Structure 1
């Protein structure tokens, strides 16, 4: 006599639950990422040396790398491309202007510490010390966001 073996099909009812859990996890990840401010990221560029207001033919300028972190801190690297100075590394906190959230001050930086964040163009513009006005050669003071 042959025995009939019954195989329960409970597995099929469990699988959609697993898929739903995966979908929930990816939705949560997207929502968590959506809460990261748009200005957070890494920016780089070459600017005039610290003593110049625009690029000079005889001066290669400075390589600048700036990371803005979600906790409103930053890491700034500046290196003279002429090799005259050591690499400068500064870490500190950001301070947003109460009247204009696109204006930021890098605390613990004494020169070139004022920035304007252009989210549409994905760039940071370094502004004049103390006044916060644009440099006459504004295009020389742009840091582009890394993708």
Structure 2
């Protein structure tokens, strides 16, 4: 059985995230210098520049932790070659209860890129419900208000990037 923590990424998305992590780590000294500069301007409790710099550092460190976890648990490589089961790296066409159809990439939201298919996270209620589905199967998932939604998988194909 596949590790449920693992997240599939195309090689391009993995490298994009790796570069972002490297850039954030490289910016650490500049952010620390900005905090030090702002601290010297006076009482930190009354210094908005200091507060902004500290908040930027906190957001940067949170993103570094997030990227490290994503990359540590990443499964990279080409999309699955077979397209008979919904799994990370497949494009799924779904028919909703109202008859509308939409196509989604089943992957991490980090996989998304401008102009690409909308992404359904494998960790979302819909993504979790779809894992392992086959064409013609209906799956149900919970909506935020506690209601349930049914979808039918009408097509599964490998993601071509």
TM above 0.5, yes or no, is no
Q: Give 1 or 2 for the bigger CA radius of gyration.
A: 1
TM-score normalised per structure 1:
0.31
Structure richer in helix, relative to its length: 2
Which structure exhibits the higher relative contact order, with contacts defined as CA atoms closer than 8 Å and separated by 6 or more residues?
A: 2
Structure richer in strand, relative to its length: 1
